[in-house]
Structure 1
Amino acid sequence: MLLHQRPVLSALLFCLLLSNALQAQSNIDKLLPVRAFCISAPKPKSLDRFLQFINEDLAVNKINTLVLRIDFNYQFKSHPELQDSFSLSEQDVKKLVNACKQHNIHLIPQINLLGHQSWAGITNNLLKKYPELDETPAVQMPALYVWPNPDSLYCKSYCPLHPAVHTIVFDLVDEICDVFETDAFHAGMDEVFYIGDFRCPRCAGKDKAVLFAGEINTIRNHLAIKKRKLWIWGDRLIDGRTTGVGEWEGSFNNTQNAINLISKDVIICDWHYDKAEPTPVYFTKNKFSVITSTWRKPAVAIAQIQDMVKYRQAAKPAIKKLYKGIMQTIWTNADSFLDEYEAAKTATNKEENTQANCFMAMINEINKISQVR
């Protein structure tokens, strides 16, 4: 080969590789517009490690949305009494913001609202500092938590009708959205077992679907003031009995009718972890945008991706745009997941049902379908 030909061939090879990469990106954007990853925000000591994960794993594997569960892991200026002992500073968050901007990753913070105000035998910061907001103050936290229990205690809820609750939580929401420079906020809203308690002086006797919808719309309307979108988990909008998905993935306390009462621009994250349920169709028929969500079973993640692609291909344009994509959810802390993920990348067995293996199966399927012309 003549020496002067080598630069020309190298340039042609580069153009070919770039063309293939752009085609793959175009394919996956059409097939799965949202490829999301949801995890608890790292503690300050683990921030650099997590930034490396964003740069070297999320971005490289076409993840374009990162939902970070903040809750009280931030040094709130509006309510410093609610922050955890070791929390992210504003400067820490800006590092996360900049990393995501660099890779065009949509960064969305989450604070659990309404439900999940406790876990096992521990009351979380909001009700610990403001016990008057508790929907069920008569239910005492046990020394040794077991499920089931006589109080049907899973997680505590705040009272959505308490006159002081939104003043406090909206301070947190506004502050965290501002520092994250975001146009969306995830409010959780999953597994709300305590709502409209018969002992609550404000909620007793009220329709639980109306209470649930009222809280969603109140949060949605507050976010809309600054043109921010509300994301929630979708389980309380599914009838757990008639669908057969059960009391965790669906409602057994009659909140499901809230689907007819809430704003259609709320984004639904539809989680099912043991089976690729067809509930995204239910949400799009009700005119909601939906993101199917997976956890730890690789086969389920692959089926959910394939289903989402089929839904989009079969739907008419007005409905197609509502099928947004898929989200990997992680339910351990960031360090535990990263330990598991780093070990799994070099392991030979990829079929084991773990979060890391599920994530790798998800990104492999994403890369696979992105190559389809």
Structure 2
Amino acid sequence: MNRVIYRSSFFFLFWFFGFTNLYAQQALEIKGLCIALPQPEFLDDFIDFAAKELKPSGINTLVLRVDYRYQYESRPELRGENPMSKAQVKKLVDACEDLGIEIIPQLNLLGHQSWHSKATKLLEVYPEFDETPNIKLPDTYEWPNEDGLYCKSYCPQHPNVHDVVFDLVDEIVEVFKAKAFHAGMDEVFYLAHKDCQRCNGYDPAKLFANEVLKINNHLAKKDIRLWIWGDRLIDGAETGIGMWEASMNNTARAIDIIPKSVVICDWHYEKAYPTPAYFATKGFNVVACPWRKPNVAKEQVEMITDFKSNSNKKMASRYLGVMHTYWSSAEKFMKEYKNPAHKIDEKGYSSVLTFKAMANSIKELGEK
């Protein structure tokens, strides 16, 4: 009789702790939102929104696209329009700390140094950093175009570019009290370009990897972790994903060169591609990122959770979670979020409803 009780107790404990461990694997470490830094005049509104909407939705991580919208003191020439002050940033950081929301500041490095017909502040002030100086920004932008122009890049081998951009990086990680920094690095179409006297003829994968290494090593001095977008590390031809959400310009091999400490934000907007598993098996921590299709967000939450549940402890720990990406202003996001009449458009898109679908899916799967 005692043996029967012992065995029954043993199997109950095995089942219980196994189930508990499975649930622990399912818990998402990152429940995030990537959004633009709010305009200074809307700072209080954003803090209120974070308290009343984001925190109750389960959000614990904000990647804030700062770029040139901060009052840089080290490089005041690189202040953009309507920049936020140090005191305003401190107010935002303190409020998010109280809410248990971590802020990760973002400054686009390497790529996205222009947008269609307008250069970012970096290339506006330092045009010598341009990877493609012979390609001019048109008055009226169209895609496709003969130059293959989407966004400009800075030359990663220019001898002075890192002195400038690292001043900005150092300043914003300090003012945001950041433990991690997002360097962007997505959609880098101009790299090892024939127009660049320094990069022409170089292996794009090595150039990309070297830039990641340089940024990572700089941040590591202050024990700050690097986050980047993952598209340049996916082979667009082999996967069939193509040139936007993956690479068709020979950068994908960089995945075997860059440090495993880098966190990969794996954005896919039309389908929930299972590429988080690719990054995890390569040794990287990964975050799945939706944008404008609610069903894709739901599928990405389910996918990440399934990957965690069906992995061993080592692999499961690499699936960090899900982060919604929003590519307009914080003010527009808040307005649409609060509008009860807001709905899916004729193309089936709504970034706000996609965010809500992500948050609801996490809660439905037992997240707190």
User: Same fold per TM (> 0.5)?
Assistant: yes
Residue 347 (structure 1) shift: 3.7
The match for 1:289 is 285
Which of 115, 134, 141 in structure 1 is aligned with 2:130? 134
Q: How far apart, CA to CA, are the structure 2 residues paired with 1:41 and 1:293?
A: 18
Deviates more, 1:258-267 or 1:359-368: 359-368
The residue number in structure 2 matching 1:185 is: 181
2:216 maps to 1:204: no
Q: Is the 8 A contact 2:337 2:352 kept in 1?
A: yes
State the shift of 1:28 in Å.
Answer: 8.2
Residue in 2 aligned with 1:240? 236
**SS of the residue 2:106 aligns to:** strand
C-alpha distance in structure 1 between counterparts of 2:367 and 2:114, whole Å? 44
Q: What CA deviation, in whole Å up to 9, does each residue of 1:316-335 have, x standing for no partner?
A: 11111001000000011111
Equivalent residue, structure 2, for 1:171: 167
Query: Which stretch shifts more, 331-340 or 286-295?
Result: 331-340
- Cα distance in 1, alignment partners of residues 277 and 333 from structure 2: 31
- Among 81, 84, 87, the alignment partner of 1:88 is 84
Quote the RMSD (CA, aligned, Å). 1.6
Q: How much does 1:99 deviate? A: 1.3
Superposed displacement of residue 271, structure 1: 0.2
Counterpart position of 2:211: 215
Provide the residue aligned with 1:370 in structure 2.
366
Cα distance in 2 for partners of 1:44, 1:242 equals 45
Deviation at 1:27, TM superposition (A): 6.2
In structure 2, the residue matched to 1:162 is 158
Per the alignment, residue 39 of structure 1 pairs with 35
Residue 371 to residue 271, structure 1, CA distance change in 2 (3 Å): closer
> 1:75 Cα shift?
0.2
Distance across 1 between alignment mates of 2:35 and 2:23: 26
Could you tell me whether the CA contact under 8 Å between 1:28 and 1:370 is conserved in 2?
no
For residue 270 of structure 1, the aligned residue among 260, 266, 270 is 266
Q: Quick one: distance in 1 between partners of 2:294 and 2:91?
A: 31
Contact 2:110–2:154, Cα closer than 8 Å, also in 1: yes
Q: Note the C-alpha offset of 1:61.
A: 1.3
Distance 1:28 1:120 in 2: 45
**Structure 2 residue 256 is matched with structure 1 residue 226:** no
The residue number in structure 2 matching 1:251 is 247
Instruction: Give the Å deviation of 1:30.
Output: 4.6
Structure 1, unmatched stretches of 5+, are 1-25
How far off its partner does 1:78 sit? Answer: 0.5
Aligned: 1:316 with 2:295: no
2:65 is matched with 69
Q: Given residue 69 of structure 2, which amino acid in structure 1 is its aligned partner? A: N
Of 329, 332, 337 in structure 2, the residue corresponding to residue 336 of structure 1 is 332
CA deviation map 1:342-368 (0-9, x unaligned): 11xx24857952011111111111121
User: C-alpha distance in 1, partners of 2:364/2:342?
Assistant: 20
Partners of 2:367 and 2:251 in 1: CA distance: 42
Residue 34 of structure 1 contacts residue 64 of structure 1 at CA under 8 Å; is this kept in 2? Answer: yes
Matched residue type, 2:86: E
Does residue 152 (structure 1) correspond to residue 151 (structure 2)? The answer is no
Q: Match for residue 355 of structure 2?
A: 359
Q: Secondary structure at the match of 2:103?
A: strand
SS at match of 1:249: coil
Deviation at 1:299, TM superposition (A): 0.5
Q: Secondary structure at the match of 2:63?
A: strand
Conserved? CA contact 2:61–2:104, under 8 Å:
yes
**Structure 2: 5+ residue runs without aligned partners?**
1-21
Report deviation, 1:224.
Answer: 0.2
Question: Which segments of structure 1 move beyond 3 Å, counting only runs of 4 or more?
Answer: 26-30, 347-352
Once the two structures are superposed, the pairs formed by residues 22-37 of structure 1 within 5 Å of their partners are 30-37=26-33
* Contact 1:296 1:355 (8 Å CA) reproduced: yes
Code of the residue aligned with 2:180 in structure 1: it is A
Q: 2:191 aligns with which of 186, 195, 200?
A: 195
Post-superposition CA distance 1:197-250 (Å, at most 9, x none)? 112111110100000000000000000000000000000000111101110000
In 2, Cα distance between the equivalents of 1:40 and 1:140? 27
Change (3 A) 1:249 1:94: same
SS in 2 for 1:337: helix
How far is 1:32 from its partner?
A: 1.2
Q: Aligned to 2:243, what secondary structure does the other structure show?
A: helix
Matched, 1:280 2:257: no
Alpha-carbon distance in 1 for matches of 2:149, 2:225: 31
Distance 1:348 1:164, change over 3 A: closer
Aligned length: 345
